[in-house]
Amino acid sequence: MQSTIPKGWIRWMNIVCGLFILYGLALVVMPAQVQDVQGAIYYNWPLGEDAYSQLTSIEHNYHIFLYGVIGGVLIGWSVLIIAVVNGPLQNGYRWAWQALVLSLVTWFVTDTLISLATGMTINGLFNLVSAVAFAIPLFALRPYMAS
């Protein structure tokens, strides 16, 4: 393991995870407000103007439930990434780098495929931005990982 791992990339990933934790908390703590903004974007953009307002109260409640679940998963995943980044990855363990890359690729492919298959291309764009935010530091750190 090399001791000269650039700390800037570690900080970068901590900041990205921090933003995901804040977003996850918003999904859990204020799902109705997030739903008003995000729902309008997700429904009105691909389905036509004002499609979001046509959802029933049962559909709105189900979305709030899903936001809570997604928020909890996002928080948990981000906490785990922070632990791996600030421990084994920062210490140059290649397995940590590989685990992060595999986890992110698995998430990106599955989430983006279902997003595109259901016409939610805006979520695919969000996924792309998120994946790039992690890919840049991970690929910059790859040469520093022990074999």
Q: In whole angstroms, give the CA distance from residue 97 to residue 48.
A: 42
Q: Kindly report the pTM of this predicted structure.
A: 0.87
Angle separating helix axes 121-141 and 7-29, nearest 10 degrees: 150
**Phi, psi (deg, nearest 5) at residue 120:** -95, 60
CA-wise closest residue to 115 among 107, 106, 124: 124
67 within 8 A of 35, measured Cβ to Cβ: yes
> pLDDT tens string for the chain (147 positions)?
455 899 999 999 999 999 999 999 999 999 888 877 777 777 666 556 666 777 788 988 898 899 899 999 999 999 999 999 999 999 999 999 999 999 999 999 999 999 999 888 889 999 999 999 999 999 999 999 987
Amino acid 103 reads S
